[in-house]
Amino acid sequence: MGAQQGHEGKRRKLSKLKKTDTVVPCVPSSLCPCCGDSHIAINQKPSYRHQVHEIPEPIVNITEYQVFHGRCQNCQTSVKGKRPQDTPQGIMGPNLMSYIALLAGQFHLSVRKIQELLKLQLGTSFSTGAISEAQGKVSSMLTPLHQAVRDAIQKAPMVHIDETSHIRNGESSLRWCWLMSSDDWVYERVLFSRSTHSAKVMLNEKFAGVVISDQCASYNWLNPEKHQFCLGHLKRNLQQMADYSGGGLTAFIGKRLTLLINMIFRTQHCYEEENISAEIYFRRMKRLRKSLTRWLHKGADVTTSRYSGRCKFILKHEVSLWVFLTAPLTIPLTNNEAERRLRGSVIMRKISFGTSSDRGDKFRGRIHTLVETCKKRSMSPFIALQQIVNAVVKKQPYPDIFNLCSG
């Protein structure tokens, strides 16, 4: 048993010691076990280091502000002490509020689960109303950041955009959670509908960059020469046609179309891995585009209205299939980036269910904007949120954690 012959072993790297860490020197006995002599020369550096990681016992520090009254002995005027100016308004400090917000926004815990965790981990009890109020406060503190990210992403040269349903407790109709992702930022917001108006609210009608999305009709107002359809969605749609239970010509054409889409992906990967030259790449793509168009025309004439309509729709937006050819190493073929960033909201919807107020909608959009942008930039969401909440509570200048003001 064990590693196979020739396998290069992997070991955990030793962590850098901090001032608060403990070092236990393990020196040999003062007597030699062989001859019993007491002259043992000990090395200056340890020959082996073994590190044990442990977490400190979690506690909650309570700061009590005791306000005293007094009375002037001369004129009998009553006077009252004042709390420091940076005293938090409420029973939770900035670090605890940040922790509660991240438990929901990054780890997808419901309010009741957060309540149970705080009691189990820290031995402190808060009502569900107090936890919800803390999330609302954090949401308000994130407003400037949320708006700044929106303004920045609307000026980006390329944006991925996607949407998913959002449940509002007590309402029969669904709301929609929208998300945009660029190279530097992620912006999320809950809106009333999945309409063209909502898409324009997210992107801005004057958006000049390239948009990668699915085939939702909400994006039909975009310039087709700057609107790249997700070919991953297209492949799934055509695979349904290939798997048509009726078989016959419909399934045959679906299989041909699916094969052509796979060849497009294969050619793209070969070019990205530098296995083919740019000349060969564009020649192959030109040939594939011609073949795909020809088979889509054949698919538009099949008797199955569902699949003939799908082929007609793709032909109508054929330009949007090939926008990536204008910058083949920059514009991706799929909208996987937006779908991955939206995954946190989908998980939260399934675990924590819906929201019950506009405050809850805003909290989810703003906390996910912070979390996903931090992930994209390899930053700690907790440290970033701590900086913002501490600055607002202590009435300090709002921190520019993403360098939005300097960009």
Among all chains, which residue has been given the structure tokens 């793209």?
268
pLDDT at residue 406 in the model: 58
- CA 185/CA 182 separation, integer angstroms: 5
State the Cα torsion 357-358-363-364 to the nearest 10°.
80
Whole-prediction pTM: 0.87
Averaged pLDDT, 80-105: 91
- What confidence tens digit (pLDDT) does each residue in 318-330 have? 999 999 999 999 9
Q: Which of 225, 331, 184, 212 is nearest to 272 (CA)?
A: 331
Q: Which of 271, 243, 242 is nearest to 259 (CA)?
A: 242
Sign of CA dihedral 134, 136, 139, 143: negative
Q: Which of 255, 230, 243, 234 is nearest to 334 (CA)?
A: 230
Strands 158-166 and 78-80: unpaired
Q: Which residues pair with 78 in a beta bridge?
A: 71
Contact 60, 54 (CB under 8 A): no
What's the mean pLDDT when you consider all of the chain? 92
Does residue 204 surpass a pLDDT of 90? Answer: yes
Does residue 12 surpass a pLDDT of 60? Answer: yes
- What confidence tens digit (pLDDT) does each residue in 269-299 have? 999 999 999 999 999 999 999 999 999 999 9
- CA 283/CA 280 separation, integer angstroms: 5
31 vs 108, which has greater pLDDT?
A: 108
CB neighbour list of residue 282: distance below 8 Å, 6 or more residues apart: 325
- The CA radius of gyration of the chain, in Å to the nearest whole number, is 30
For residue 253, what pLDDT band results from cuts at 50, 70 and 90?
A: very high
Averaged pLDDT, 160-183: 93
Does residue 407 surpass a pLDDT of 60? Answer: no
For residue 3, what pLDDT band results from cuts at 50, 70 and 90?
A: low
For residue 20, what pLDDT band results from cuts at 50, 70 and 90?
A: confident
DSSP-based three-state secondary structure for 283 = helix
For residue 404, what pLDDT band results from cuts at 50, 70 and 90?
A: confident
190 phi/psi in degrees, rounded to 5? -95, 125
Tokens of 70: 């007094």
- What confidence tens digit (pLDDT) does each residue in 293-324 have? 999 999 999 999 999 999 999 999 999 999 99
- What confidence tens digit (pLDDT) does each residue in 356-384 have? 999 999 999 999 999 999 999 999 999 99
Does residue 10 surpass a pLDDT of 60? Answer: yes
- CA 311/CA 315 separation, integer angstroms: 6
For residue 54, what pLDDT band results from cuts at 50, 70 and 90?
A: confident
DSSP-based three-state secondary structure for 228 = strand
Contact 250, 304 (CB under 8 A): yes
- The arrangement of strands across the sheet holding 186-191 comes to 186-191, 175-181, 158-166, 210-213, 227-229
Q: Which residues pair with 189 in a beta bridge?
A: 178
Among all chains, which residue has been given the structure tokens 């944006």?
159
pLDDT at residue 216 in the model: 93
Share of the chain above pLDDT 70, in %: 99
